[in-house]
Amino acid sequence: MSETKHLTPGFFWRLLGYKGGSLNISEEGITLNKNKKTYFIENHSFVKKSQIKERLFGFDLVFTANEGQVKFGPLSRSIAKDAYEWLQSYWYLEIFSEINTAFKKIQSKLTSKYIRSSEWPSIINEAQIALNRFIEPPTKGLIDEAKSRPFEGISAYAKMGEIDLQKYRQKHIEDQKKKFSEYFNNIEAYPLTEDQIDACIIDEDNNLVLAGAGTGKTSTMVGRAGFLLNSDQAQPKDILMLAFANKASEEMQERIHNRIKRDDLNISTFHKLGIKIISEVERGKPSLSKYAEDNETNESIFKRDVNLWVNELLKDNSYKDKVIKYFENKDIIKQRCDR
């Protein structure tokens, strides 16, 4: 489909020898016809290569083709403006579907999940690539208001900065808190705190949560695992939960079983995971030291052997003197610290 518009200078200018021409617009681009010559401008270059210029007595419609500048004029203001807006509206409507798709895609990325730092630059880049197709949104009234919105949205997205990123993140966190409020209030014996809930929801490339003893680290890990499953962000096979000691690992397994009713998550200790990885790579279990086990009980092999070594060394009087001196100094330091 193509359309043609004729541009004719006023009667006075025609008497002076100025000739008109025509513009033909199609899906391929704009064809300029003037003085029996034809010039072509590709659609994607139109906005960058056309403008209205005022002159002493009238206006010129100016295009930049590969062969150089092509002017139509002198034209009246109304004719020049009408032709320019006709071309613009055609072009905006021509690329509407493409821009609308890009707009919805970016909008979904901004609102459907927590935006990671690694994802933010690509979102801005997508918006800037789309904006480069039309440079600036259509002026008010040029096309239907509903069809203007994607152009305006892309223009705004392309100019976003760090403040906008934080706004979208905070909005997502607040939305998830409302949506899963019942879950966060009941996943443990007591409702999770705001900081614990934030740790469950925030989905940065790498999350580091610092917490002291007894502050609810295990509750937070259980809460996050359940949240990822309930919000369909992960499947059980995607989750690996690690602890240093067997006791902590067993506690996590028990909590997961009791709180979120799952037994199919990967819960282990760093030690067991290391053995598993080595065994799979080497196709056989590695030879381990007899001390490679939890040493929390008084009956542990490691503690037993340490006691034997110390008792053997204490038979040496010079070593015994050093031990006595060490504990005497340690007691003096403790007394000073207690004051």
pLDDT tens profile 63-81: 888 777 888 878 888 888 8
3-75 has CATH 3.40.1350 classification: no
Local confidence band at 49 (pLDDT 50, 70, 90 cut-offs): low
Q: Could you tell me the residue ranges of all domains in the chain?
A: 3-75, 95-168, 183-282, 301-338
DSSP-assigned states of every residue in 93-152: HHHHHHHHHHHHHHHHHHHSSPPPTTTHHHHHHHHHHHHTTTSSPPPTTSS-HHHHHHHH
Residue 336 confidence (pLDDT) above 50 = no
pLDDT tens profile 271-281: 899 989 999 99
Name the pTM for this structure: 0.73
pLDDT tens profile 180-192: 999 999 999 899 9
Residue 332 confidence (pLDDT) above 60 = no
C-alpha dist (Å) from residue 173 to 1, 176, 193, 205, 242: 48, 5, 14, 16, 26
| Higher pLDDT, residue 127 or 14 | 127
Instruction: Report, as an integer, the average pLDDT of 262-270.
Output: 93
Give the strands of the sheet with 37-42, arranged side by side: 3-7, 21-25, 29-34, 37-42
Fold adopted by 183-282? Rossmann fold (3.40.50)
Burial of residue 9, with CB atoms counted within 10 A of its CB: 0-12 exposed, 13-18 middle, 19 or more buried = buried
